[in-house]
Amino acid sequence: MIDLFFDSVLLPTGWARDVRIGVDAGGWITSVQPQSTPRGAQRTPGIAVPGVPNVHSHAFQRAMAGSAEMGSPAGDSFWSWRTRMYAFVRSLTPHDIEAIAAQLFVELLRRGFTSVAEFHYLRNAEDGTPYEDPVEMARRILKAGDATGIGLTILPALYQASDFGGVKPEAEQRRFLNNVESLISDIAILGAEASGSTVRIGLALHSLRAVPGNSLTNAIDAARKMDPNIPIHIHVAEQLREVNRSLSWCGTRPAAWLLDHAPVDKQWCLIHATHIDEDEIARIAASGATVGLCPTTEANLGDGIFPFLEYQNRKGNWAIGTDSHVGRGPASELRLLEYGQRLKTLTRNVAAGTQNKSTGRALLDAAWSGGAKASGRRIGSLVKGARADIVILDPNHPALLGLSEDDALDAWIFSGDETPVSDVFTGGNHVVRHGRHVAADNIYASYAAVAQVLAKNI
């Protein structure tokens, strides 16, 4: 057990000074004592806030981030990007995946993400057959998590078809394919071995394009028998073409179909949900589900802009992720989310609304709360019983000089691209010190060897 001491901490009750936080051997907060003394505690200067949950990641895509930006006489879109992604993924090995994920996790931690929900669909060998150990790829993600200290919600994904109605999968999708039986087996294997303190096992349904309705129902039923509170994530309504294909297939928009046919509730996270109408907005908000927004990826892929203001007015839950990892920090995701809405509405401080409230604080409060729900872990708040995931902002960073409390949060998000994060604790372990991850050098060396080979395949 250790005691940590911070000069300024954001607690659920507000900002507090001279806070001692007790952490047990498992990494859980045992006590929070404002107006305390540092005697016998590990003291870290700066402004302490909860670590931010990242609710959507495809770790392998970190190695191709920024490498699909070439114009074409035929034009470019999400779908042409996907073709390049399929080519890139063709030869990735388990060793590659571990090296890429570890480098990604170092970068996420360095910027203030302390946990990540890995939407895991790269399952099979290059020829489409399962590895001898069917969860080999998932284990590599878990090893990267262990090496870096990041918290994980790993979500093995069901993937069976190439389009609505169970259309036969394409050859390029063979590395992703499985069935309900193998999916549930993967979840059971990983769940039996996972450390409850650092890892949560969930269920991913890749999309309504990739999962026929009967398989969707069977997977949910089986997973919930194993764990009634299992986190369930699904891509939905990311692209207009997806919406139009759904309408052609069944006469219903994809989000509406999902709400009509699946038990969507507070355990669910609907990824993107970019193209939803007023009725879908109201129903998603009422369901208690969380929408997982990935603004930098959604911008990079030309997805569109989520109807944030309308959803916020319905008091819907939302959180942020980094998806393809063209952005890798909470500040960049939240900034682009807010700026996209300012451009759309021709107003400012959209997340704060009509409240006399800091926009940075409003964005972070929602990301902490929604992120904890979607991750299925006790994170996002510095209270007794929660994970001791803590981010320290450097008050001497140029962006934060002279600022404190909510003003510092605004500056973190809206003042430049250099991160003022100086130190990070996950489960009470000091994984980022003075702006550098404690294992950064070794992890970078492994990643560099892999990335230089992979660059030839992009």
- 63 with 197, same domain: the answer is yes
- 211 with 92, same domain: the answer is yes
Q: pLDDT, tens digit, for every residue of 147-201?
A: 999 999 999 999 999 999 999 999 999 999 999 999 999 999 999 998 888 999 9
Distances from the Cα of 25 to the Cα of 44, 49, 197, angstroms: 19, 21, 10
Tell me how far apart the alpha carbons of residues 342 and 429 are, in angstroms, rounded to a whole number. 38
pLDDT for 196 equals: 80
Q: pLDDT, tens digit, for every residue of 37-85?
A: 999 999 999 999 999 999 999 999 999 999 999 999 989 999 999 999 9
pLDDT cut 90: percent of the chain above it: 96
Q: What is the mean pLDDT of the chain?
A: 97
- 59 with 118, same domain: the answer is yes
User: Catalytic pick from 56, 58, 235, 272?
Assistant: 272
User: Catalytic pick from 323, 365, 389, 406?
Assistant: 323
- 90 with 165, same domain: the answer is yes
| Average pLDDT by stretches of 10, the chain with 458 residues | 97 98 97 97 98 98 95 93 95 97 98 98 98 98 98 98 97 98 98 90 98 98 98 98 98 98 98 98 98 98 98 98 98 98 97 94 98 98 98 97 97 95 98 98 98 85
Length of the chain: 458
- 278 with 391, same domain: the answer is no
pLDDT for 109 equals: 98
pLDDT for 197 equals: 84
For the chain, the first-to-last Cα distance in angstroms comes to: 47
pLDDT for 449 equals: 96
What CATH number has the domain bearing residue 328? 3.20.20.140
pLDDT for 182 equals: 98
- 236 with 121, same domain: the answer is yes
Does 456 reside within a domain? no
Give the three-state DSSP class for 66. coil
- 36 with 57, same domain: the answer is no
Q: Is 96 a catalytic residue?
A: no
Tell me how far apart the alpha carbons of residues 252 and 374 are, in angstroms, rounded to a whole number. 26
Q: Is 323 a catalytic residue?
A: yes
- 311 with 427, same domain: the answer is no
DSSP type of residue 59: G
pLDDT for 185 equals: 98
pLDDT for 195 equals: 81
3-state SS string over 146-205? HHHCCEEEEEEEECCCCECCCECCCHHHCCCCCCHHHHHHHHHHHHHHCCCCCEEECEEE
Residues 6+ apart with CB under 8 A from 245: 163, 164, 209
Q: Identify the domain containing residue 415 by its residue range.
A: 2-49+383-442
DSSP type of residue 129: P
pLDDT for 63 equals: 97
Among residues 113, 49, 107, 22, the alpha carbon closest in space to that of 395 is found at 49
pTM: 0.98
